[in-house]
Structure 1
Amino acid sequence: MNKFSISLLSVLTASTLAACSNKTDLNQDNISAGLTTYLAKRGDLCLAKNVWPIDVTQKDVDTGGRNAIQMPILEKLGLAQSSVATVTATEEGVSAEIKVRRYTLTENGKKYYLNKEMRSVRSDGDIKLQQGDLCAAKLSLDKVIGWEEAKTNDSSKMVAVSYTYKVDAAPWTADADIQKVFPMVDRVVRGAGSMVLKESFKLTGEGWVAVDL
């Protein structure tokens, strides 16, 4: 009789606590739910290769430009293919036709191109919106490490959340040359389960929502 009473009391207590909790509470479950939603929408790890075809000039090669270094590696892995094209370039007010190495996505490369709105943060803090990108991995939530309340200029509530993540990476991210020319991608992929990321969340009527959404 006593065991039954204790078990029943435990069930009733748990039910009462669940009923009292709501999606605006600052707790592990609600923050985890917010992060899961955020990563489902913004958890794509991409290469900043938004607009195709991508042309590489001799000047890019001579100065060690990003595309001049990275595009041949994508071609080596069968994600891109190149040909020679002629374009009109203007420098110091003078126009001239020049030869470029033009890269396009292969059928295999198209499998990793996500045609959706992508956001990136500029060095000045502004948000840059672009349509589509070539992506290397998808992040999902591993666990919430903790959070700190952030100061705001009004009565709104914000927290800075620290978390670790899981990663579903494309097989070509294991290539040594890719890791060399895309070091940040390599760092994030290798950091699955251990690297701590941060994201800001604000309290809304629908619960805790990532500021970046």
Structure 2
Amino acid sequence: MSLRAGVLMFGCCVLALAGCGSKEDASEANFGAAISSFLTETGDLCLGFNIRQWPIDVAPGSLLASGQLEALEAAGLVSSEPAAVDEKNIFGKPTGFRTAVKRYQLSDKGKTFYRELSRSGLFANAGEIKGGDFCYGKEALDKVVKWEGPTKPGADQQVRVTYSYKINDLADWAKAPSIASAFPREAQILAGAGKQNWKVIVKLTSAGWEVVSGH
């Protein structure tokens, strides 16, 4: 066999092997990589306790979820003290009276788990609405359970992938009974790690499979 023929044969073998592991294949490895990449960007797990600014003043009978604030205080994320503020009428004008409140402020521990958030306002001239939340861990892929599709070959190939998740860097305070009671949705997420299945839609792009719709 000539040298040139040997090189050509070697090149064909390499291409054949590469084809066996193509990034376009509908495979557990490719779907897992797509989900992991997606969760790296979007997988922060937070309480959903969106606060515009600190401190927070809670008056007796306030509609604000003081039970959640008490749970956060029990976890050491906030501290409170009695305070008094000027009363205001429905037009925002001072009434001349003072109201006793419970004032909550971020603790040093709380600052390490608090994440500032920003999003566009509902109206074009609203600018950015800023707030923040307490984040307690990072969702990560546990395993790909199954997938459905692609239904047919073509340019627009989408697959529904079912996967289970795990939680990395889980904060100890998130496991406290007081947090589970005040934030039941988060308690369900913690309990579902490694057990509960979630679904995403992945789409075939020029760069391979990418998540286009999360759970």
The alignment's TM-score, normalised by the length of structure 1, stands at 0.72
2-side partners of 1:88 and 1:202: how far apart?
Answer: 55
Residues 42-90 of structure 1: per-residue CA shift (max 9 Å, x gap): 111101234331524336x455x43x11001111221111233526655
Measured after TM superposition, the shift of residue 130 of structure 1 is 6.1
Helix, strand or coil at the partner of 2:93: strand
Check the 8 A contact 2:116/2:130 in 1, yes or no. Answer: no
Larger radius of gyration between Structure 1 and Structure 2: 2
Q: Which residue of 2 aligns with 1:111?
A: 112
Match of 1:75 among 73, 76, 81: 73
Q: Which residue of 2 aligns with 1:202?
A: 203
Amino acid in structure 1 at the alignment position of 2:76: G
1-side partners of 2:147 and 2:130: how far apart?
Answer: 30
Q: Which residue of 2 aligns with 1:6?
A: none
Q: Residues 90, 137 of structure 1: CA spacing in aligned structure 2 closer, same or farther, 3 A cutoff?
A: farther
The alignment's TM-score, normalised by the length of structure 2, stands at 0.71
Amino acid in structure 1 at the alignment position of 2:56: D
Measured after TM superposition, the shift of residue 138 of structure 1 is 1.3
Identity fraction in percent: 31
Please, what is the CA RMSD of the aligned residues?
3.3
1-side partners of 2:132 and 2:42: how far apart?
Answer: 12
Q: Residues 48, 102 of structure 1: CA spacing in aligned structure 2 closer, same or farther, 3 A cutoff?
A: farther
Aligned positions of 1:126-141 closer than 5 A = 132-141=132-141
Gap regions ≥5 residues in structure 2: 1-11, 120-128
Amino acid in structure 2 at the alignment position of 1:76: A
Check the 8 A contact 1:90/1:96 in 2, yes or no. Answer: yes
Q: Residues 150, 102 of structure 1: CA spacing in aligned structure 2 closer, same or farther, 3 A cutoff?
A: farther
Amino acid in structure 1 at the alignment position of 2:54: P
Amino acid in structure 2 at the alignment position of 1:137: G
Q: Which residue of 2 aligns with 1:8?
A: none
2-side partners of 1:94 and 1:52: how far apart?
Answer: 18
Q: Which residue of 2 aligns with 1:187?
A: 188
2-side partners of 1:167 and 1:69: how far apart?
Answer: 26
2-side partners of 1:130 and 1:30: how far apart?
Answer: 36
Q: Which residue of 2 aligns with 1:174?
A: 175
